[in-house]
Amino acid sequence: MADRAVTLIAAGLAAAVLLLLLAPLAALGLSTRSLALSEAELAALRFTLMQAALSAGLSVMLAVPVARALARRRFFGRDVLVATLGAPFILPVIVAVLGLLAVFGRAGWVNNGLALLGLPAFSIYGLQGVVLAHVFFNMPLAVRMILHGWQAIPAERFRLAASLGFTPAATLRHIEGPMLRAVLPGAALVIFVICLTSFAVALTLGGGPRATTVELAIYQALRFDFDLGAAARLALLQFALCAAAYAVATRISLPLGFGAGQGRTGGPPAPNGWRRGLDAVFITAAALFLALPLLAVVLNGVPGLRHLPASVWDAVLAAAVRSTLIALASTALALSAALVFALAAARGKGWPALAATLPLAASSLVLGTGLFLILQPLFRPADLALPVTMTINALLALPFAFRILLPETRTIYADYHRLGASLGMTGRAWLRWVVIPRLARPMGFAAGLVAALSMGDLGVIALFAGEGQATLPLLVQRLMGAYRLEAAASAALLLVLISFALFWAFDHWGRRYADA
């Protein structure tokens, strides 16, 4: 399968990724002269690690029963629910926070309900709020990743289990357990690292400077102290944390050895009785937890749509077109890179996985600032806004795409590499007739996620954007900055709808293609 070519391309890409991640640090004047952290930075580090570990652990723990329930139950609206699982993850932070506050905030639905019942109020502000928001964002992602794991177990294994009279506990131990052992560390790693770089959510819901994360310390270094070296040092710390988390996850994770099936899917058996009721509880609880804040986003945005002035519509449409084009280009870039890394990693190499995970830990502020320093002497920043945004979006989305593609790519390699080789299927034939059809489901999901993420991101373009280059997220921010909160909520709703439409289109394609 032209192993060497894949490895070579992956190595080249890995070098490019590292260059993109590390050159900005160098540009900021990283000096290893003093790597010691100050008291405040240590406190930020402690808080960052604690909230990230709690968020990742809780997201994954809650995701397992939900994913299992979804894997083994068929009910009306299941497909919609599975598709909607992508939605929280792609919400712009401020939109999601306002949605969460509408449900869990001081004046939110939950607290109104508690007050009616005469119960004490729940405060979202504090560590619990940070974790709640991170679980809201990331638990659905974990559900989807674990659900893919369940769907990847060949139906033959479950039939074997049934023929041997396995109890659900034995099935869990011998069939589902190993799958979870293979999938969970990767899912937890991704969520842990995402939460490492959390800043706006952590600060806003954390209730104040107690909730200072490393990313906020970077913000302070760049914006308040203008100490570029300190920012670079903290960014390096984030990479180190990511690499350490990666090492831990790799040690825990065991590769899956199910062997191939006949391509039959049917999911695990669906036991009746109390387990059925419990599954219903998990699915309902998860659906409500995800749907209520989304509903709040919709309710916030709809009233403004009617009297959104024409100028706003024009701006929204222009920005929407621009954002969509950026998103599509970023998706093509990120998915190709993720596929190459996944193919190389499936051949047993460790470094592609690390290279494809590190971008998660990148501080977009440091990345943007560093690239600006590098490029600004050579180009007009505004001329580069779109290419830079596309590249950075692709870079930041690469880890998700990679994680989603990896398990199935490994399975393909283990199950069909010999057969393909014996038939002389190389390069394009192998990709076209084996890899892409068999990866359709995760590829659709990954492409949808990347496209939607690229729609929402504004970290980098804000630094480069010139006149008339506003993307939709930037427009939302501008509307808010101009007191137009209602219009901003409407523009945000449009952003969410377009993101979700993109996500849905890709994801649906993947699932349709895989089922065909």
What is the distance between the alpha carbons of residues 284 and 482, in angstroms, rounded to a whole number? Answer: 39
Binding mask 31-70 for other proteins (x = CB under 8 A): ---------x--x---------------------------
With contacts defined by CB under 8 A, name the span among 82-90, 143-151, 160-168, 429-437 that binds other proteins.
429-437
Q: Nearer Cβ to other proteins, position 357 or 364?
A: 364
Positions in 464-493 near other proteins (CB under 8 A)? 465-469, 474, 477-485, 488
Contact by Cβ (8 Å): 477, 118: no
By CB atoms closer than 10 A (0-12, 13-18, 19+), residue 310 is exposed
245 touching other proteins, by CB under 8 A: no
Task: Give the distance from CA 87 to its chain's centroid.
Answer: 11
Single out the residue of 175, 188, 249, 326 in contact with other proteins (rule: CB under 8 A). 326
Q: Hey, what are 270's tokens?
A: 């669906």
With contacts defined by CB under 8 A, name the span among 81-89, 180-188, 223-231, 497-505 that binds other proteins.
223-231
425 touching other proteins, by CB under 8 A: yes
CB of 101 to other proteins, least distance (A): 5
Positions in 435-464 near other proteins (CB under 8 A)? 437-438, 462-463
SS3 15: helix
Cβ atoms < 10 Å from Cβ of 374? 15
- Alpha-carbon distances of 206 from 55, 124, 202, 320, rounded to whole Å: 13, 8, 5, 32
432 touching other proteins, by CB under 8 A: yes
325 touching other proteins, by CB under 8 A: yes
Cβ atoms < 10 Å from Cβ of 481? 9
Helices (H), 253-309: 274-306
CB of 226 to other proteins, least distance (A): 6
What is the distance between the alpha carbons of residues 46 and 234, in angstroms, rounded to a whole number? Answer: 13
Cβ atoms < 10 Å from Cβ of 317? 12
386 touching other proteins, by CB under 8 A: yes
Single out the residue of 84, 213, 364, 369 in contact with other proteins (rule: CB under 8 A). 369
With contacts defined by CB under 8 A, name the span among 182-190, 285-293, 433-441, 446-454 that binds other proteins.
433-441
Single out the residue of 416, 445, 504, 506 in contact with other proteins (rule: CB under 8 A). 416
Q: Nearer Cβ to other proteins, position 76 or 306?
A: 306
Contact by Cβ (8 Å): 152, 158: no
Residue whose tokens read 């945005």: 301
Sign for the pseudo-dihedral over CA of 15, 27, 198, 387 = negative
5 touching other proteins, by CB under 8 A: no
Single out the residue of 63, 390, 443, 491 in contact with other proteins (rule: CB under 8 A). 390
Q: Hey, what are 211's tokens?
A: 């909730």
For residue 499, give the nearest of 92, 118, 73 by alpha carbon.
92
Cβ atoms < 10 Å from Cβ of 139? 26
With contacts defined by CB under 8 A, name the span among 7-15, 63-71, 323-331, 446-454 that binds other proteins.
323-331
The helix-helix angle for 310-346 and 381-422 (nearest 10°) equals 40
What is the distance between the alpha carbons of residues 212 and 216, in angstroms, rounded to a whole number? Answer: 6
Positions in 247-306 near other proteins (CB under 8 A)? 259-264, 300
Binding mask 137-176 for other proteins (x = CB under 8 A): ----------------------------------------
Q: Nearer Cβ to other proteins, position 20 or 203?
A: 203
CB of 349 to other proteins, least distance (A): 18
Q: Nearer Cβ to other proteins, position 125 or 351?
A: 125
Single out the residue of 88, 140, 185, 206 in contact with other proteins (rule: CB under 8 A). 206
Q: Nearer Cβ to other proteins, position 328 or 398?
A: 328
CB of 468 to other proteins, least distance (A): 7
The residue ranges of DSSP E strands in 132-256, in sequence order, are none
Positions in 82-121 near other proteins (CB under 8 A)? 94, 97-98, 101-102, 105-107
Q: Nearer Cβ to other proteins, position 83 or 488?
A: 488
CB of 191 to other proteins, least distance (A): 22
- Residues in binding contact with other proteins, number by CB under 8 A: 94
204 touching other proteins, by CB under 8 A: yes
For residue 104, give the nearest of 302, 296, 283, 299 by alpha carbon.
296
Q: Nearer Cβ to other proteins, position 319 or 362?
A: 319
Q: Hey, what are 300's tokens?
A: 């916030």
Q: Hey, what are 8's tokens?
A: 């070579």
Sign for the pseudo-dihedral over CA of 406, 513, 86, 282 = negative
Single out the residue of 19, 164, 254, 419 in contact with other proteins (rule: CB under 8 A). 419
322 touching other proteins, by CB under 8 A: yes
What is the distance between the alpha carbons of residues 470 and 473, in angstroms, rounded to a whole number? Answer: 8
CB of 276 to other proteins, least distance (A): 28
CB of 224 to other proteins, least distance (A): 5
Q: Hey, what are 158's tokens?
A: 């479950």
Q: Hey, what are 428's tokens?
A: 């394009």
How many residues in total does the chain contain? 516
Single out the residue of 31, 119, 177, 226 in contact with other proteins (rule: CB under 8 A). 226
Alpha-carbon dihedral of residues 308, 309, 314, 320, nearest 10 degrees?
-20
377 touching other proteins, by CB under 8 A: yes
- Alpha-carbon distances of 387 from 325, 455, 460, rounded to whole Å: 11, 14, 11
